[in-house]
Structures are given as structure tokens and as C-alpha cells.
Amino acid sequence: MNLFGKKEEEEEAKDSPKHTLGFSGDLNSIMNHFYIKKYELNTIDQLTDIKHQLRARKILIIDVQKVLEGSNAKILEFKEVIDELKNFVRQNGGSIGRLGKKYLILTPSAQIRISN
């Protein structure tokens, strides 16, 4: 204990990078359970798996190039999938965004947001 009645470990924790960056213990425990995963979208049928990955607290970076190279009918289906993903992500507090021309990024919850 020091002169102010605090444990020395508490004072040392205040000087840690996590404290300096503003991470509290609660946020730190939340952040430890998110993962980033690259995901290749080959068919529209993978929508269920994408939702499963998001429920498993994964931040997805989705390569959509193969779907975009398909026929016009496939692209129309892809737009419907994107709308469904937008609704799913927003219902869970997450967000969706584009990374260039061929990637999407999806976050699973409100703790991690995409800024435009």
C-alpha cells in the first residue's frame, strides 16, 4: 500500500497501455472475444454460414469477387443477400461496409462499429 491507501498494482495498471488507450476491464474482456476472419463468398448459399460466423462474434472481411463475376441473375441475387445481411447485422447492432471494389466488412455487434 502507498500513502493514499491504494495498492501499488492498481497504480501500475493505470500506466499500462490498455489504461492509456482508455480500455476498462469490462471492455477489455468484451474485446478479447472477437475475431477477424477473411471469408470467401463463392455462392449465395453461404448466407446461413455468414450469419453463423457473425453470431460466433467474428468480424468478417468477405471477398465477393467470384459472385460479382457471375451472370446478371447472380448479381441480382447477390443484391438481395446484401440487403438481408444489412438487416441481420443492424438488428444485432453491428455494421456493414465496403473495402474497395471486392470486399465487404461486417461487424457482429455494437462494440465494434465501422466509420465512414
Q: What is the residue extent of each domain of the chain?
A: 1-32, 34-116
Q: Quick check: 4 pLDDT over 80?
A: no
Q: Are 113 and 35 a contacting pair, CB within 8 Å?
A: no
Q: Find the mean pLDDT for residues 28-57.
A: 85
Between 72 and 105, the more confident residue is 105
pLDDT, residue 1, reads 54
CATH number of 34-116: 3.30.110.150
Per-residue pLDDT, 53? 95
pTM over 0.85: no
